Amino acid sequence: MEDGSARLLGKGEDGAISPPVGEGCLPQRRLILLLVMLGFFNVYAMRVNLSEAAEPMQRRYGWSEATKGLVLSSFFWGYVAGQVPGGLAAQRYGGKAVFGAGIATTALLTMLLPVVSSSLPALFVVRALMGLGEAVTYPAANVLYTQWVPSPERAVLVAFSSSGSYLGTAFAFPISSELIALRASNVTTYIDTKTGEVHGVSTSWPWVFYTFGALGLVWWGVWHLLAASSPEESSATSSGELAYIQRTRRQDADAVLSKVVVRRSASPPWRGFLTHRAAWALYINHAAYAWGAYTLLDFLPDYLDSQLGFDIKSSGGLSMLPYLLMFLSACGSGAVSDRMVRAMPVRRVRVIIQCAAFWLTSALLVATSYVETANSAVVCLTLAIGISGIAHGAYVVNYIDISPHYAGQCFSVGNTVASISGIIAPIVTGFVLGDKDTAGRERWRVVFAISAGFYVAASVVWIAFMSGKVRLIITPASACALVWHPRSLTPALRSTTPTPTTPARICALDAYWGFHSLLWN
């Protein structure tokens, strides 16, 4: 199709299709992804603000530690259940409607939370519904990616937009702390166990929920006015940008130069999502990332306080730094990943990026458990959390690599597995520690070693079984078939390798070629 819009497209030195000439710094696809990033900012700000407000709420209503834990965990009751329905809804009704509805619903429920907080059953229901509202956002975002993201910009745009969650976390904690400290009661008081001082219980904590809920509704208004589910539905998409997206969004990332467009199967290959080894390599790494993230989010302040006498919550901007580094490292890894793909196979790029993130994070977590000073531990943990964001240039993008038409549904399965991992991680950590206030350094070393071991084990699975090529396509039946795909480049090696006939032999030989391809592919 050589029309006027096609002639607007640029050509790289290697003949690849490049963005339209003179399109400016904020074309429509980047505006949409910027709004998605700000959406995730709101999603995570509304998710974590209860972590700050839980303490004054506990004192106000006399909750036990177990009750507070149930209030915090009730979010995941809806979050786990809503992943797959969210992917289905986004595919049917469009990413714009489902992504926006999920955040708007969560914002309204966030503002309702202080009203029902005196009733535990009502509070559990609201928190579970908040989880259900947020559950649809990531699958819906992946449906948007399949429509808006050109293959040559896949990693940078996906990593940038999805890392808005880290900015939301970074800003939610200090803002929530300031809002909670605005006003305190003169009647209801408590004694600080560390200093022995008497303080009034905060009465301004509801403003945490009103503020972030209102911010979410403002975002939804902007989203409703400017966003679209696809470039074809947006009147702001130029003809050149539309042609660029249409020609590249469905391409195998390894075959951009030859313009190989991936066929769409008649329906989502659900059996493939549940059985294909490349999909499970992705889910396992997603789960490992979630395990480490939730362990650090829930227990990092306790470790620094009980073992090293450092109160990170009162350290001002220092509590923001790890998550700001995560945002920067995620964006940087996406940009680097897209550049590397121009010179080497996608599989090798994703393996390098993922292993760099997981191995460096593992080393820093182990180092944290052995350093003796608070400053050294803070540096190690800040770097560990920040560097882990590099993985966004690998596993997060890989959902579109292996299923460019149904990435939303594939992600819904992976995020369900990761959410279960995020639920189990604090339980296991609590079991290992026992009483976290009296747990010794040896128990904390076990906690960090479990997270580090999970990262390393997942990266080995990643090397063995991940794929940079499309795997989950054609039909539900053929997409789930366990097919022998030797990764050797040399015909001599391929011809001397017997074709395996059982699933166990297929997986074993595929793992062998997975490691072999790092050197020869």
Q: What is the 3-state secondary structure (H, E, C) of 122-135?
A: HHHHHHHHHHHHHH
Residue 151 CA to residue 369 CA, distance in Å, equals: 41
With 90 as the cut, is the pLDDT of residue 459 above it?
yes
**Residue 491's pLDDT is what?**
40
Question: What mean pLDDT is predicted for residues 319-330?
Answer: 90
Q: Residue 267, Cβ neighbours under 10 Å: how many?
A: 11
In whole angstroms, what is the distance from residue 270 CA to residue 6 CA? 36
Q: Position 294: which residue type?
A: Y
Give 24-242's CATH code, choosing from 3.40.190.10, 3.20.20.70, 3.10.20.340, 1.20.1250.20: 1.20.1250.20
Q: What angle do CA 463, 464, 465 make, to 5 degrees?
A: 105
Q: How many CB atoms lie within 10 A of CB 483?
A: 11
Structural tokens at position 31:
């505006």
pLDDT in tens, 77-122: 899 999 999 999 998 999 999 999 999 999 999 999 999 999 999 9
**Residue 174: CB atoms within 10 Å:** 17
pLDDT tens digit string along 231-249?
A: 999 998 888 899 899 888 8
DSSP state of 261: B
**DSSP 3-state of 10:** strand
Model pLDDT for residues 260-308, shown as the tens digit of each residue: 555 666 778 888 888 888 899 999 999 999 999 888 877 777 777 777 7
Position 16 scores a pLDDT of 59
- Beta strands (DSSP E) in 177-314 are 184-191, 198-202
Per DSSP, 474 falls in state: S
- Classify residue 343 as exposed, middle or buried by CB count within 10 Å of its CB (0-12, 13-18, 19+): exposed
Q: Which residue has the higher pLDDT, 209 or 69?
A: 209
CB 143 within 8 A of CB 400: no
> Tokens 């009661």 map to which residue?
185
Three-class SS string for 342-373?
Answer: CCCCHHHHHHHHHHHHHHHHHHHHHHHCCCCC
pLDDT at residue 356, rounded to an integer: 95
- Pick 86 or 316 by higher pLDDT: 86
Which tokens sit at 135?
Answer: 């559950």
Q: Do domains 24-242 and 265-481 have the same CATH topology?
A: yes
The three-class DSSP label of residue 402 is helix
Range of 95-109, 199-213, 429-443, 485-499 with top mean pLDDT: 95-109
For residue 520, what is the enclosing H or E element? Answer: helix 503-520
Q: What gap in Å lies between CA 260 and CA 269, rounded to an integer?
A: 20
| CATH placement of domain 265-481 | 1.20.1250.20
Between 422 and 394, the higher pLDDT residue: 394
Mark residue 185 as left, alpha or beta (left: phi above 0; alpha: psi -120 to 50; beta: remaining). Answer: beta
Q: At what angle do helices 277-308 and 346-368 cross, to 10 degrees?
A: 20
Which phi-psi region, left, alpha or beta, contains residue 394 (left: φ > 0; alpha: ψ -120 to 50)?
alpha
How many angstroms separate the CA atoms of 37 and 40, rounded? 5
Pairing of strands 10-11, 17-18: antiparallel
* Residue environment code for 64-73, b if the CB has 16+ CB neighbours within 10 A, otherwise e: eeeebbbbbb
Closest to 166 (Cα-Cα) out of 342, 85, 47: 47
Residues 6+ apart with CB under 8 A from 371: 377, 380
pLDDT of residue 110: 96
Task: Say if residues 181 and 85 touch (Cβ distance below 8 Å).
Answer: no
Confidence of residue 165 (pLDDT cuts 50, 70, 90): very high
Q: For the chain, what is the total number of helices (H) and then of strands (E)? A: 23, 4
In this prediction, residues 458-467 reach a mean pLDDT of 91
Could you count the other beta carbons within 10 Å of the beta carbon of residue 491?
8
Closest CA relative to residue 381, chosen from 393, 394, 367, 392 = 367
Helices 346-368 & 503-520 angle (0-180, nearest 10): 90
Residue-range domain boundaries for the chain: 24-242, 265-481, 482-520
Q: With 0-12 CB in 10 A as exposed, 13-18 as middle and 19+ as buried, what is 22?
A: exposed
Please determine, for residue 498, whether its predicted confidence score (pLDDT) is greater than 70. Answer: no
Give the SS3 label for residue 241. helix
* Phi–psi pair at 6, nearest 5 degrees: -65, -35
